[in-house]
Amino acid sequence: MSQTDLEIVVDDPTAPEENSPSVTSSGTVEIIVCLLLLALAAILGYDNWRTGASWDSTGPEPGYFPFYLSIILGGSSVYGLIAALIARRGAADTFVTRAQARRVMAVFVPTLLFCLVTQFLGLYVASFLLIAGFMRAVGKIALWKSLLTAFLFTAIMFVTFDIAFDVIMPKGPLEAAFGY
Amino acid sequence: MRISVKAVGAAAALLLSAPAFAGWEPTKPVEIVVAAGAGGASDQMARMMQAAIQKNNLMKQPMVVSLKGGASGAEALMYMKSSEGDPNKVLIAYSLIYMLPLSAKIPFNWRELTPVSVIALDQFVLWDNSAGPKTVKEFVDAAKAASAPFKMGGTGSKREDHVLTVFLEQKTGAKFSYLPYKSGGEAATQLVGNHTESNVNNPSENLEVWRAGQVRPLCVFDKERIAYTSKVTDTQSWADIPTCKEEGVDVQYLMLRAMFLPGKVTPEQQAFYVELFHKVTQTAEYKDYMEKQALKPIFLTGKDMVQFLEEDDATNRSLMTEAGFVAK
Amino acid sequence: MEAFGLLLHGFAVLLTWKTLVLMMVGLVLGIFVGVLPGLGGPNGVAILLPLTFTMDPTSAIVMLSCIYWGALFGGAITSILFNIPGEAWSVATTFDGYPMAQQGRAAEALTAAFTSSFIGSLVAVLLITFLAPMISSFALKFGPPEFFAVYLLTFCSFVGLGREAKHKTVISMSLGLLLAGVGMDTVSGQLRMTFGSSELLRGINFLVAVIGLFGISEILLTMEERLALRGHAASISLRVVLSVWKDLPKYWVTLLRSSFIGCWLGITPGGAIAASFMGYNLAKRFAKDPESFGKGRIEGVFAPETAAHASGTSALLPMLALGIPGSGTAAILLGGLMVWGLNPGPLLFVEHKDFVWGLIASMYLGNVVGLVLVLTTVPIFASILRVPFAAVAPMIVVSCAIGAYAIQNAMFDIWLMLGFGVVGYVFKKIGIPLAPFTLALVLGNRAEDAFRLSMIGSGGDLKVFWSNGLVGSIATLAIVLLFWPLIDALLGRLALTGRTKAASG
Alpha-helical runs (H) found in chain A:
26-51, 64-88, 98-121, 123-137, 143-158, 173-177
- Contacting A residues, span 58-97, partner chain B, CB-CB under 8 Å: 58
Q: Look up residue C468 and give its DSSP letter.
A: S
Of the candidates B31, B41, B93, which has an alpha carbon nearest to the alpha carbon of residue B64?
B31
**Least CB-CB distance to A166: which of B13, B27, B29?**
B29
| Shortest Cα–Cα distance, B3 to chain A (Å) | 7
> E strands, C227-364, where?
229-232
Of all residues in chain C, the one with the smallest CA distance to A167 is C406
DSSP per-residue codes, C171-223? HHHHHHHHHHT-EEETTTTEEES-TT-SSGGG---HHHHHIIIIIIHHHHHHH
pLDDT tens-digit map of C377-398: 766 666 655 677 788 788 878 8
Of the candidates C69, C27, C46, which has an alpha carbon nearest to the alpha carbon of residue C438?
C46
- Say if residue B184's pLDDT is above 90: no
Task: Look at A163 and B29 and tell me if their CB atoms are within 8 Å.
Answer: no
The answer to which of B44-53, B97-106, C218-227, C433-442 has the lowest mean pLDDT is C218-227
pLDDT of residue C268: 59
> Angle at Cα B221 formed by Cα B215 and Cα B226, nearest 5°?
80
Mean pLDDT in chain C? Answer: 77
Sort out which chain B residues have CB atoms less than 8 A from A166's CB and list them. 2, 29, 62, 64
pLDDT: which is higher, B227 or A51: B227
For the entire predicted model, the pTM comes to 0.77
- Say if residue B19's pLDDT is above 80: no
pLDDT tens-digit map of A51-68: 888 887 777 888 888 999
* CA C307 vs CA A65, C161, C258, C304, C315: distances in Å: 36, 17, 5, 5, 12
* CA A66 vs CA A71, A80, C459: distances in Å: 9, 20, 21
Question: Which residues, 6+ apart, have CB-to-CB distance to A75 below 8 Å?
Answer: none
**Least CB-CB distance to B64: which of A164, A166, A180?**
A166
Task: Look at C189 and B193 and tell me if their CB atoms are within 8 Å.
Answer: no
Residue A3 CB neighbour total at 10 angstroms: 16
- Say if residue C193's pLDDT is above 80: yes
- Say if residue A3's pLDDT is above 50: no
Chain A neighbors (3+ CB pairs < 8 Å) = B, C
| Shortest Cα–Cα distance, B238 to chain A (Å) | 36
Of all residues in chain A, the one with the smallest CA distance to C459 is A58
Helix (H) or strand (E) holding A14: none
Burial of C408 per CB tally in 10 Å (0-12, 13-18, 19+): buried
Confidence label for C328 from pLDDT (cuts 50, 70 and 90): low
CA atoms of C112 and C73, how far apart (whole Å): 11
Rounded to 10°, the helix C17-35/C41-48 angle is 130
Confirm or reject contact between B156 and chain C (CB < 8 A): yes
pLDDT of residue C137: 64
- Contacting C residues, span 177-216, partner chain A, CB-CB under 8 Å: 177-178, 181, 185, 187-188, 190, 192-193, 195, 216
pLDDT of residue B142: 94
The answer to which of A72-86, C94-108, C413-427 has the lowest mean pLDDT is C94-108
The answer to which of A33-47, B112-126, C30-44, C55-69 has the lowest mean pLDDT is C30-44
Confirm or reject contact between A179 and chain B (CB < 8 A): yes
Confidence label for C274 from pLDDT (cuts 50, 70 and 90): low
pLDDT tens-digit map of A137-173: 888 889 999 999 999 999 988 886 777 666 678 888 8
Of the candidates B108, B142, A22, B71, which has an alpha carbon nearest to the alpha carbon of residue C182?
B71
- Report, as an integer, the average pLDDT of B72-76: 88
* CA A33 vs CA A80, A105, C430: distances in Å: 9, 19, 9
> Angle at Cα A111 formed by Cα A106 and Cα A116, nearest 5°?
130
pLDDT: which is higher, C338 or B267: B267
- Say if residue A34's pLDDT is above 60: yes
Task: Look at B6 and A163 and tell me if their CB atoms are within 8 Å.
Answer: yes
Whether A28 contacts C405, CB under 8 Å: no
pLDDT of residue B14: 41
Confirm or reject contact between C461 and chain A (CB < 8 A): no
Sort out which chain C residues have CB atoms less than 8 A from B37's CB and list them. 338
pLDDT of residue C305: 87
Sort out which chain A residues have CB atoms less than 8 A from B62's CB and list them. 166
SS3 of C449-465: HHHHHHHHHHCCCHHHH
Confidence label for B304 from pLDDT (cuts 50, 70 and 90): very high
- Report, as an integer, the average pLDDT of B264-293: 92
pLDDT of residue C231: 47
Task: Look at B64 and A58 and tell me if their CB atoms are within 8 Å.
Answer: no
pLDDT tens-digit map of B104-158: 888 899 999 999 999 999 999 999 999 999 999 999 999 999 988 999 999 888 9
Sort out which chain C residues have CB atoms less than 8 A from B212's CB and list them. 350
pLDDT of residue B6: 42
| Buried b or exposed e, range C147-177, using 16+ CB within 10 angstroms | bbbbbbbbbbbbbbbbeeeebbbbbbbbbbb
pLDDT of residue B162: 93
Sort out which chain C residues have CB atoms less than 8 A from A161's CB and list them. 402, 406
Of the candidates C195, C350, C259, which has an alpha carbon nearest to the alpha carbon of residue B192?
C350
CA diameter of chain B: 74
The answer to which of C5-19, C33-47, C442-456 has the lowest mean pLDDT is C33-47
Burial of A55 per CB tally in 10 Å (0-12, 13-18, 19+): exposed
Q: Look up residue B242 and give its DSSP letter.
A: P
Task: Look at B148 and C343 and tell me if their CB atoms are within 8 Å.
Answer: no
User: Dihedral, CA atoms, B49, B53, B58, B59, nearest 10 degrees?
Assistant: 100
Confidence label for C229 from pLDDT (cuts 50, 70 and 90): very low
Strands B125-129 and B255-261: unpaired
ipTM of the complex: 0.88
Whether C64 contacts C48, CB under 8 Å: yes
Mean pLDDT in chain A? Answer: 83
pLDDT: which is higher, A3 or B197: B197
Helix (H) or strand (E) holding C244: helix C238-247
pLDDT of residue B5: 42
Confidence label for A108 from pLDDT (cuts 50, 70 and 90): very high
- Say if residue B94's pLDDT is above 60: yes
- Say if residue A77's pLDDT is above 70: yes
| Shortest Cα–Cα distance, A106 to chain B (Å) | 36
**Least CB-CB distance to C185: which of A62, A69, A166?**
A62
| Shortest Cα–Cα distance, C339 to chain B (Å) | 6
* DSSP β-bridge partners for residue A25: A94
- Report, as an integer, the average pLDDT of C215-230: 68
The answer to which of B61-75, C120-134, C160-174, C330-344 has the lowest mean pLDDT is C330-344
